[in-house]
A and B are shown apart, each in its own frame.
Chain A
Amino acid sequence: MNPRVTQILGLLQGDREADRAVPPTGFTARLTVFTAAAMAFLAVFALALSVATGRLADRWSAELARTATLRISAPAGEGEAQVRAALQVLETTPGVASARALTPEEQAVLLEPWFGPDLPLETLPIPRLIEVTADADGYDATGLRARLQAEVPAAVLDDHTRWREPLVDAANRLRTLGWVALLLIGGAVAAMITLAAQSALSANAQVIRVMRLVGARDAYIARAFVRRFTLRAGLGALVGTILGLLAVAALPDGDDGGFLTGLGFSGAGWFLPLFIPPLAAVVAFLATRAAALRTLRTQA
């Protein structure tokens, strides 16, 4: 068997005698478990943020890239004719999958949040809107604008680029921030475990002296500390992850695609946080081992 695998299995299996050589330290143990739990709880939220913003960025990018709006501001009486002309242009434009004029009722619904339900829409010069959906290949926006300018001068094509890009950019940055937060949490766990391990090693200087006197190698001495902190960090992270998942699950859910109501995991994404406890254990293993071997070297 691979020596590294043997080492990991040995770590999990443990060495009861090596463990017993180091006296139990209740306070440090509880502190380590609590900190690991708190960090794991935060890590679940950071992960949820990254996953949700990534999902939003992808959805916004995909949905908005395939839709556009044609706005027709024609004088009274010419509106219908302009709409028909525009639809005709759109139907013959390669890359346009569908084009549909919004009904006055649909436009009223769009305006309702701003003007209320009793707006006499027919008395106002409201532009007519046409919803354009592109096919997978997309259309040539520049060419379409040129055609519309020639054949339907009152039409203005809005392909959403102006506000789609900043939104997607913001969502991508939020996703990056989420990953940075995860890295910082991992670093904080490593720092905390290192300090706790160094404290434990200093407090057990007499134990180390005796172990050396009887012929213990550094790796043997370190193992007792490493296993202890690895298990504590793993246990704390497991508790924190479970609590974090429950908290995320308890967040209000919504199918409106909003940011705050969509902050969570979906589908297989719920399994992602399950990587947090083993990762915390790995971080603790590496941090404690490095701290232990460094301290043992300096105590030579």
Chain B
Amino acid sequence: MIELENVAYSYGGDSLFAGLSLQLAPGSFQFLTGPSGAGKTTLLKLCYGDLLATSGHVTLFGKDAAGLTRDDVALVRRRIGVVHQDCQFLDHLPLSENVALPLQVSGRSKEAQDNLGDLLGWVGLSRQAAQTPPQLSGGERQRAALARAVITSPDVIVADEPTGNVDWEMSQRLLTLLIELNRMGKTVLIATHDLNLIRFAKSQVVANVLRIRGGQLETGVTL
């Protein structure tokens, strides 16, 4: 599905990591952890085609990422739901339209009429549908970002510190939503430095933990 093989990435000549390999199997649940600045966000961006590796091969749904056109990248993004730590919304639009945006850009607006109500109910935001993102709390924004990431029923969900701005109770709720999605067959990759969150997830789902440290990726990490 998503495969990184012997990948390196450098920022302005400074190597962030090198020789890194990773395979996201369909239906898997993976955590990516590591210290700040280790390259977690960069690795996630490589996984959804937002960055190109300095060297090595990144394969997204069977296609070499380096050979993708800009339109190809857009199509890849439609198969990957991304949840950012800072959420990134269109602040002038109500929550309902923000969540439905992935359907709109892919010409599937009619599906929004069928799915949006249920989805907002699932993340507990039915009453906030008409509010704009600046009117929402941090937790509500995170849940809205998650709803937007899954509205197209993508194959993969990539979340970068999805619980970074919320309390423990809200973190558990968000993680439970992601676990539910994984049980529906979605591949989930979550970058987090919150070890309690990983422990909580491992108590409910078979999750693999990856750790990036010193430019190297360790797999099967035990906490």
Contact = CB atoms under 8 A, between A and B. Distances in A.
A209 B77 CA distance: 12
B74 A210 contact: no
Interface residues of B, number: 24
Given A209-B88, A218-B71, A21 B77 contact: no
A216 interface: yes
Given A17-B104, A20-B97, A212 B90 contact: no
Given A214-B148, A215-B105, A216-B105, A300 B70 contact: yes
Given A17-B104, A21-B90, A300-B70, A212 B77 contact: yes
Given A21-B104, A206-B88, A215-B76, 17 more contacts: A17-B97, A17-B104, A21-B93, A23-B90, A23-B91, A24-B92, A210-B88, A210-B89, A211-B105, A213-B88, A214-B78, A215-B102, A215-B105, A215-B106, A216-B74, A217-B71, A217-B74
B137 interface: no
Interface string B89-112: 111110001000110111001000
Contacts, number: 58
A207 B70 contact: no
Q: 10 shortest A-B CB distances, which residue pairs?
A: A215-B78, A215-B77, A216-B105, A214-B102, A23-B92, A217-B74, A17-B104, A214-B101, A210-B88, A215-B74
A139 interface: no
B90 to A, nearest CB: 6
B205 interface: no
A20 B74 contact: no
6 contacts: A17-B109, A21-B101, A210-B89, A216-B74, A218-B70, A218-B74
A152 B74 CA distance: 91
Contacts of B102: 214-215
Contacts of B82: 213
Interface string B7-50: 00000000000000000000000000000000000000000000
Contacts of A23: 90-92
Interface of A: 17-18, 20-21, 23-24, 206-207, 209-220, 297, 300
Contacts of A217: 70-71, 74, 105
A18 to B, nearest CB: 8
B75 interface: yes
A209 B78 CA distance: 14
A93 B104 CA distance: 83
A23 B101 CA distance: 14
Contacts of B106: 215
Nearest to B92: A23
